[in-house]
């Protein structure tokens, strides 16, 4: 079955970096766009970034633009989120999610399925 498993979360000091990974299985990873979505403790959902199935296009939320980089390795069926210059307000559970339409070139807010999430805590 389609499965997404995030890893790489933890406690990090403000200003430092962290890289999250999302291992995909059960589908042809290289055919699907992928997203990162986060949720601060007790708060709502916030979309973070999207990458096209082939890595040709990437879009970011204004809150992370210039600090976070989304990437993928289709040979390893893995999605990444490189997070630099971390701030306290980046503390959240980070979910990876798939766009369920294959070879999509028109972006949408269609996320299915989602991973279980990985917690990132930015604190000194």
Partner 1 sequence: QSVLTQPPSASGTPGQRVTISCSGSSSNIGSNYVYWYQQLPGTAPKLLIYRNNQRPSGVPDRFSGSKSGTSASLAISGLRSEDEADYYCAAWDDSLSGSVFGTGTKVTVL
Q: What is the contact surface with partner 1 in residues (CB under 8 A)?
A: 35, 37, 44-47, 50, 59-63, 95, 100, 107-117
Angle made by CA atoms 25, 1, 95, in degrees to the nearest 5: 60
3-state secondary structure of 29: helix
> Is 3 or 31 the residue whose CB approaches partner 1 more closely?
3
Residue 124 CB, shortest distance to partner 1, in Å, is 25
Residue 75 CB, shortest distance to partner 1, in Å, is 26
CB atoms within 10 A of CB 37: 22
> Is 44 or 75 the residue whose CB approaches partner 1 more closely?
44
Entry field: residues in the chain: 124
């Amino acid at each position: 079955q389609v499965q997404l498993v995030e890893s790489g979360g933890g406690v990090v000091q403000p200003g430092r970096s962290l890289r999250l990974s999302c291992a995909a299985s059960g589908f042809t990873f290289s055919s699907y766009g992928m997203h990162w979505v986060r949720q601060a403790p007790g708060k709502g959902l916030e979309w973070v970034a999207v990458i096209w199935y082939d890595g040709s296009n990437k879009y970011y939320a204004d809150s992370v633009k210039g600090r976070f980089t989304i990437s993928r390795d289709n040979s390893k069926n893995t999605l990444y989120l490189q997070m630099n210059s971390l701030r306290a307000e980046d503390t959240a559970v980070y979910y990876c999610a798939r766009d369920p339409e294959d070879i999509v070139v028109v972006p949408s807010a269609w996320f299915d399925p989602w991973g279980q999430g990985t917690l990132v805590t930015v604190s000194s």
